[in-house]
């Protein structure tokens, strides 16, 4: 069953930062870490069709992920011990 959460949005996307690159998907079954940030992007529909631009700028929100997994803590401890 679909449910409308927000109207007036022409597109929405999420990206995941792995510490070096922004990725379009995050597969937690293939990694032991979490993304270091998540970016939410929304493109709003124009309010007035006569003033619409072909490529409206997205509204972006970047949220840092400050939770650490056991694997991340172990990786940090290993890197710390190697120094």
pLDDT tens per residue across span 2-46: 888 888 998 999 999 998 999 999 998 998 788 999 999 999 988
Q: Provide the pLDDT for residue 47.
A: 77
Q: 7: burial class by Cβ within 10 Å (0-12, 13-18, 19+)?
A: exposed
* Of 29, 28, 30, 37, the residue nearest 60 (C-alpha): 37
Mean pLDDT along residues 51-79? 83
Check if the beta carbon of residue 34 is closer than 8 Å to that of residue 17.
no
Q: Provide the pLDDT for residue 51.
A: 60
């Amino acid at each position: 069953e679909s449910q409308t959460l927000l109207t007036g949005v022409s597109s929405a996307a999420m990206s995941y930062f792995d510490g070096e690159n922004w990725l379009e998907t995050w597969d937690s079954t293939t990694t032991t870490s979490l993304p270091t940030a998540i970016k939410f992007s929304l493109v709003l529909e124009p309010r007035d069709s006569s003033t619409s631009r072909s490529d409206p700028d997205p509204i972006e929100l970047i949220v840092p992920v400050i939770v650490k997994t056991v694997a991340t803590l172990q990786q940090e401890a290993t890197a710390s011990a190697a120094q």
